[in-house]
Structure 1
Amino acid sequence: MQFEQRMYARLKFLGLMAELYETAFEDFFHRLMCARYPDFLDVRTHGRLGDQGADGLALHERKLYACYAPQTVDVVQVKQKLMSDLAKALEKRSGQFDTFVFVHNDRRGMHPRIATLLSETDAGHPDVKFEQMGTRRLWYECMRLDQEAAEEVLGCQIPIQPVIHGVGMDDLAPLLKHLRDQRVAADPLMPLPDVEPGKLDFNRLHGDARQDLVRGMRHSHLVDAFYEGGIRAVEHDEVAQGFRLYYEQVRQEWTEPEDVLWQLEMYVLGNGSQQPRVQRAAWVILAHFFERCDIFDAPPPGWAGSGVEVSA
C-alpha cells in the first residue's frame, strides 16, 4: 500500500478501536489474527465448556490469547479477569501453550497498576511467559496485511488515490512535542558528535539527507531521555518495532535511500507541510532510530566505507 493508503487504514483502525468493546473487539481480534497467521485458532465459547481460558491459540508459537475490552477500565475487574483466565488456562489447557498474551483495548497504553500486575504474575509463574497486546501491537499486525486482507479486517475499502494530508503518527506526537520544546533549550553551538561514517556510507546516504541525519544525532539523546524507565521503556520498544516494520515495507517499494528517508519522515509527520521546528524534531527521531539500527542496515564486519566527510 502507498503511504496515503496506510494512513487511511490507520484512521479506520483507530476509529474501530474507539468503538469496539467486549465481543465486538474479540471478533475484530479474531479477524485480524486469522488473516495474519494460518495456525491461529479463533476459540469461541461453547456451552458449559466456555472457552477454557482462551480467546485464541497460536499452534506454532504456542501462545494463548485472552481478550479483555471493557468500555471503562476498572483495575480491580481487570485483575479478576486476568487471574480467572490464567487459572482456567493452566487447568484446562495445560501443555497447550508456553506464552500467555493479555489482549486489551486501552488506546492510551497499559495502566501502571495493570503493568505491575502482569510483572508480578510473570514472576509467580516461571514456567509461563507473559506478554501484552494493546493498540500499538494490533496496528503493527494490521501493517503487515496486504490491501485486500486489510480491507476485510477493517471492513472498508481503502482508496487508491491520495486522500489523506497531514496525518501524523499518534504514537509519536508526545515525543515530537518534547523534542520541539527541548531543542530550543539546547546549546546551538554544541559540536556535532563524531559519527562513524560506515553505516551512512554502507546505506548510500550522502548529501542533504546525510547532513540532516548527522545534525539530528546532536539531539538524539533527548529521545533516550524521553523513553527512559518503566512503562516508557516498553513504549520505546513498541515504537521501534513500528519503525522497523514500516522501514521493511518502504524499502521494498523505494530503491533510493533518500526516497526511503522521505517516506520515513512522512511516517512521523504525515504528508502535509509542517513548521520547521517540527520537521527538525522529526529528523532527531529518524537519527535516533538510525543509530539504534531499527532503520537501515548495519555494515557487515570488516566492511570498509568510502570515508566521505560531512560538513556541519
Structure 2
Amino acid sequence: MDFTQRIFAYLKFQQLLTDLHGEPFEEFVHRLMSARHPDYVPVRTHGNLGDMGADGLLLFDRTLHACYAPETHDYPSFRTKFRSDLNKALAKRNGHFDTFAFVHNDARGGVHPQVSILLSEVQDEIRPLRVAVRGRQWLWQEFMRLDRITAEELLGCPIPIDERTYGIGLADLEPLLRELRQRRESAEPLADIPVVNQHKIEYNNLSDDVRETLLKVLRHSYLVDEYYNGIMQVDEHDLVARGFRIYFDEVRKTTSDSEELWLELEKYVVGNARVTHRATWAAAVVIAHFFERCDVFDVPPSDWAPTASTGGV
C-alpha cells in the first residue's frame, strides 16, 4: 500500500477495533496473525480442556497469545483474566512456550499503573519465560505488513487507489510537530555532530541535497528527545520508532535512491499536501532524529570508516 492507502486503512482499522469485543476481537486477531504468520495456530476451546490458557500459538517463536477485549476496561478484570490465562498456560502448557503475550484493544494508549506493576511481578515470577502486552499499535504494525488484497479482506472494504491529498501524514507525530514548530525560533544548535553520524552519512552514500539537509537539522534533533522525555507515555517513542522503521523498510523495497527515500519519509510525517517551510523543517528534524537513532537507513559495520575517496564531513 502507498501512503494515501495507509492513511485510509489506518482510520478504518482503528474504527474496526473500536467495534470489536470478546469473541469477534479474538477472531480478528486469528485472521490477522494467520495472514501474517504461516506458523500461527488458532486455538479453540474443547470440552473440559477449555483453551488451556491460550487463544493462539506462534510455533516458531514459541509465543502464546491470550486475547482480552471487553466493552469496558478496568484493572481488576484485567488482573483476573491475565492471571487465569497465565496460570492455565503454565499448568497445562509448561515447556511448550517461551513468551506469553496478552493481546488487547484498549484505545487509551499505555497501560494502567497497576498493570505495569502486575507485569513486573509476573515477569519476575516466571523467568526465564517472558511476558508481553500487545495493544492497538502492535496490531496496526502487524497489519501494515499485509498486501492490499489481504488488508481489504480484513477491513471488509476496498482500499481506494485514486490519488488523494492529506495535510497530515502521521497522527502520532502531530503533537511533536506542533512542539517543534513552536520551539523552532528558540532552539539552540548543538556544537558538534556525533562521529557515528559522520560514518553513517558516508556509508549510505546520500545525495548532496539530502546530505546538506541532514547535516543542518541534526543540530536540532535533540528537540525530539526533549519532547519524548516530557510526555507521560514511556513507550510512545519506541512505538513510533518501530512504525518509522517498518515504513522505511517497505519504501526501500521499491527504491534505493536516497532522495526518494527522504521524500517518502517526509510524506510519512507531514502528508503529501503542500506545507509551510516551518513544517518541512520540523519534518526534517524528525527524520534526522530517527536517522541518528539508526531506525532509518543502514548502520555501518563497527569496523567501517570512510576512505579517502569517499571524503569526510
TM-score for the superposition, normalised by structure 1: 0.90
The AA in structure 1 aligned to 2:192 is P
Instruction: Give the secondary-structure state (helix, strand or coil) at the position aligned to 2:128.
Output: coil
- Rounded to whole Å, the distance in 1 between the matches of 2:190 and 2:140 is 39
Q: Which segment drifts farther, 125-134 or 167-176?
A: 167-176
Instruction: Give the secondary-structure state (helix, strand or coil) at the position aligned to 1:10.
Output: helix
Query: Which runs of 5 or more structure 1 residues have no equivalent in the other structure?
Result: none
Q: How far off is 1:75 after superposition?
A: 1.1
Identity of aligned residues (%): 48
Q: How does 1:76-225 map to 2 (within 5 A)?
A: 76-111=76-111, 112-187=113-188, 190=189, 193-194=192-193, 196=195, 197-225=198-226
- Rounded to whole Å, the distance in 2 between the matches of 1:182 and 1:97 is 48
Give the structure 1 partner of residue 304 of structure 2: 302
**How big is each residue's C-alpha offset from its partner over 1:134-153, in whole Å with a ceiling of 9 and x where there is no partner?**
11111111111112221222
CA RMSD of aligned residues (A): 2.2
Q: Does structure 1 residue 50 correspond to structure 2 residue 50?
A: yes
- Rounded to whole Å, the distance in 2 between the matches of 1:95 and 1:78 is 25
CA distance 1:282–1:43, shift in 2 (3 Å): same
CA distance 1:191–1:43, shift in 2 (3 Å): closer
The AA in structure 2 aligned to 1:2 is D
The AA in structure 2 aligned to 1:194 is I
CA distance 1:161–1:53, shift in 2 (3 Å): same
The AA in structure 1 aligned to 2:193 is D
Q: Which segment drifts farther, 243-252 or 108-117?
A: 108-117
Instruction: Give the secondary-structure state (helix, strand or coil) at the position aligned to 1:297.
Output: coil
Query: Which runs of 5 or more structure 2 residues have no equivalent in the other structure?
Result: none
- Rounded to whole Å, the distance in 1 between the matches of 2:116 and 2:159 is 35
Q: How does 1:23-34 map to 2 (within 5 A)?
A: 23-34=23-34
Contact 2:190/2:220 (8 A) holds in 1? no
The AA in structure 2 aligned to 1:74 is D
CA distance 1:46–1:8, shift in 2 (3 Å): same
Give the structure 2 partner of residue 6 of structure 1: 6
Contact 2:110/2:235 (8 A) holds in 1? no
Q: How many residues align?
A: 307
- Rounded to whole Å, the distance in 1 between the matches of 2:191 and 2:207 is 17
TM-score for the superposition, normalised by structure 2: 0.90
